[in-house]
Amino acid sequence: MATTEALTPDRPAVRLEEADADVLLEAIATFADRVVRPAAPLPETPPTAEAVDAVAAAATELGLFAATDPDPLALWGAPDEPRAVGLAVQALSTLASAHTAIAFHLHQLALGAHLARRLGSDAERVLPVLQGRNGLARGALARLLGGRPPDPEDAALLAEYFPHGTDARPLLVQAAHGWDHAMLPALADDGTLRWELWRREDLRPARIEHAHGLEGVATWLLRPVGEAGEVMDADGAGATRLLVEALACNTVAVLALALGALDDAWARARRYVEEREQGGAPIRDHAAIQLLLARAAATRTLARTTLGNCGLTASSADDLAHAARLRLALQQPIAQAATDCLQVFGGYGYMRDYGMERVLRDVRHLTLSFGSSTDLALFVAAEELYR
Amino acid sequence: MSIAGHLPAHHPLSTRTAFKGLRPLGRGLVDYEPATLWEIDTATLPPPLRRLRREARDFARSVIRPHALAEDLEHGPGRDAVLAAAARAGYLSDLVPWPLGSARVSTYTRPFHFGICLKMEEFTAACGGLGLMLGAHGLGAAPIMLSGDLDAMRRHLLPVVRENRAGRPSIFAYAITEPSAGSDVEEGEGASRRGRPGMVARRVTGGWKLDGRKVFISGGEIADSVTVFAALEGEGMASWTCFVVRKGSPGFSVPRTELKLGQRASGAAELLLEDVFVPDENVVGGLRNGWAINRAVLNYSRIPVGAIALGIARGAMEHAVDWARATPLGGKRVIDHQEAQLAIAQMAMDTWAMRSMVWRAASEWTARQAVAAATKAFCGDTAVRVCETAMELMGDHGLLHAGGAEKAYRDARLTQIYEGTNQINRLAVIEDQMEELSRVPGVRLSTVQEASA
Please list the pLDDT of chain B residue by residue as tens digits (453 residues): 799 999 999 999 999 999 999 999 999 999 999 999 999 999 999 999 999 999 999 999 999 999 999 999 999 999 999 999 999 999 999 988 898 899 999 999 999 999 999 999 999 999 999 999 999 999 999 999 999 999 999 999 999 999 999 999 999 999 999 987 766 666 666 667 666 788 999 999 999 999 999 999 999 999 999 999 999 999 998 999 999 999 999 999 999 999 999 999 999 999 999 999 999 999 999 999 999 999 999 999 999 999 999 999 999 999 999 999 999 999 999 999 999 999 999 999 999 999 999 999 999 999 999 999 999 999 999 999 999 999 999 999 999 999 999 999 999 999 999 999 999 999 999 999 999 999 877 666 666 666 666
Chain centroid to Cα A61, Å, comes to: 22
Across chain B, which distance is largest between two alpha carbons, in Å?
A: 84
Among partner residues B261, B332, B401, which is closest to A357 by beta-carbon distance?
B261
* d(C-alpha A350, C-alpha A280), whole Å: 23
* d(C-alpha A238, C-alpha A192), whole Å: 10
Among A374, A375, A380, the residue to mutate for chain B (most B Cβ within 10 A): A374
b/e per residue A158-167 (b: at least 16 CB within 10 A): bbbbbbbeee
Among partner residues A160, A172, A342, which is closest to B396 by beta-carbon distance?
A172
> Reduced to 3 states, what is the DSSP secondary structure of residue B199?
coil
Helices (H), chain A: 18-31, 49-62, 82-98, 100-118, 140-145, 152-161, 236-275, 287-308, 317-343, 356-368, 373-385
Pairing outcome for strands A126-128 and A181-187? parallel
Check the CA dihedral A263-A365-A201-A163 and report its sign.
positive
Nearest-Cα distance to chain A for B257, in Å, is 10
Helices (H), A119-204: 140-145, 152-161
Using the beta-carbon criterion (under 8 Å), do A279 and B189 form an inter-chain contact? yes
Using the beta-carbon criterion (under 8 Å), do B330 and A138 form an inter-chain contact? yes
Residue A68 has pLDDT above 90, yes or no: no
Query: A140 — contact with chain B (CB < 8 Å)?
Result: yes
For residue B287, the 8-state DSSP code is T
Query: A378 — contact with chain B (CB < 8 Å)?
Result: yes
DSSP string over A123-142: --SEEE---BTTBTGGGHHH
B284 CB burial (10 A radius; 0-12, 13-18, 19+): buried
Between positions 279 and 298 of A, the ones with CB within 8 A of B are 279-281, 288-289, 292
Using the beta-carbon criterion (under 8 Å), do B259 and A351 form an inter-chain contact? yes
Chain centroid to Cα B429, Å, comes to: 18
Residue A83 has pLDDT above 90, yes or no: no
Query: A352 — contact with chain B (CB < 8 Å)?
Result: yes
Q: How far is CA A245 from CA A68, A173, A311, A341, in A?
A: 17, 19, 16, 34
Using the beta-carbon criterion (under 8 Å), do B395 and A135 form an inter-chain contact? yes
Between positions 42 and 81 of A, the ones with CB within 8 A of B are 44
Among partner residues A210, A346, A364, which is closest to B183 by beta-carbon distance?
A346
**Which range among A20-24, A191-195, B363-367 has the greatest average pLDDT?**
B363-367
Phi-psi region of A128 (alpha: psi -120 to 50; beta: other; left: phi over 0): beta
Phi-psi region of A214 (alpha: psi -120 to 50; beta: other; left: phi over 0): left
Lowest mean pLDDT, pick from A17-21, A323-327, B216-220, B302-306: A17-21
pLDDT at A189: 82
Among partner residues A135, A277, A288, which is closest to B396 by beta-carbon distance?
A135
Using the beta-carbon criterion (under 8 Å), do B391 and A343 form an inter-chain contact? no
Nearest-Cα distance to chain B for A250, in Å, is 16
Query: A210 — contact with chain B (CB < 8 Å)?
Result: yes
pLDDT at A326: 95
Among partner residues B193, B384, B388, which is closest to A279 by beta-carbon distance?
B193
Using the beta-carbon criterion (under 8 Å), do B396 and A361 form an inter-chain contact? no
> Reduced to 3 states, what is the DSSP secondary structure of residue B96?
coil
pTM (predicted TM-score): 0.95
Given a contact cutoff of 8 angstroms between Cβ atoms, the answer to whether A287 and A279 are in contact is no
The CB density around residue B286, as the number of other CB atoms within 10 Å, is: 15
Chain centroid to Cα B437, Å, comes to: 29
Among partner residues A347, A367, A374, which is closest to B177 by beta-carbon distance?
A347
Query: A138 — contact with chain B (CB < 8 Å)?
Result: yes
Nearest-Cα distance to chain A for B158, in Å, is 32
- Chain A positions touching B182 (Cβ under 8 A) are 278, 346-348
- Chain B positions touching A340 (Cβ under 8 A) are none
For residue B329, the surrounding DSSP H or E stretch is: strand B328-329
Using the beta-carbon criterion (under 8 Å), do B339 and A374 form an inter-chain contact? yes
The residue in chain A having the minimum alpha-carbon distance to the alpha carbon of residue B422 is: A343
* d(C-alpha B103, C-alpha A150), whole Å: 62
* d(C-alpha B74, C-alpha B127), whole Å: 14
Nearest-Cα distance to chain B for A62, in Å, is 32
For residue B213, the 8-state DSSP code is E
Query: A212 — contact with chain B (CB < 8 Å)?
Result: yes
Among partner residues A213, A281, A349, which is closest to B399 by beta-carbon distance?
A213
In degrees, rounded to 5, the angle at the alpha carbon of residue A325 between the alpha carbons of residues A323 and A331 is 90
Pairing outcome for strands A281-282 and A206-208? unpaired
Query: A185 — contact with chain B (CB < 8 Å)?
Result: no
The residue in chain B having the minimum alpha-carbon distance to the alpha carbon of residue A159 is: B330
- Which of B169, B420, B425, B414 has the alpha carbon at shortest distance from B311? B414
pLDDT at B441: 72
For residue A348, the surrounding DSSP H or E stretch is: none
- Chain A positions touching B409 (Cβ under 8 A) are 212, 364
Query: A135 — contact with chain B (CB < 8 Å)?
Result: yes
Residue A227 identity (one-letter amino acid): E
- Chain A positions touching B410 (Cβ under 8 A) are 212, 361
pLDDT at A72: 86
- Confidence category of residue A2, pLDDT binned at 50, 70, 90: very low
Using the beta-carbon criterion (under 8 Å), do B330 and A156 form an inter-chain contact? yes
Q: How far is CA B135 from CA A69, B157, B416, in A?
A: 61, 16, 17
Using the beta-carbon criterion (under 8 Å), do B396 and A159 form an inter-chain contact? no
pLDDT at A314: 82
- Chain B positions touching A367 (Cβ under 8 A) are 392
pLDDT in tens, A96-142: 999 999 999 999 999 999 999 999 999 999 999 998 888 899 999 99
Given a contact cutoff of 8 angstroms between Cβ atoms, the answer to whether A214 and A100 are in contact is yes
Radius of gyration of chain B (CA): 24
| pLDDT (average), residues A174-190 | 92
Q: How far is CA A294 from CA A284, B290, B425, in A?
A: 11, 37, 20
Lowest mean pLDDT, pick from A223-237, A285-299, B309-323, B378-392: A223-237
The residue in chain B having the minimum alpha-carbon distance to the alpha carbon of residue A170 is: B397
Query: A206 — contact with chain B (CB < 8 Å)?
Result: no
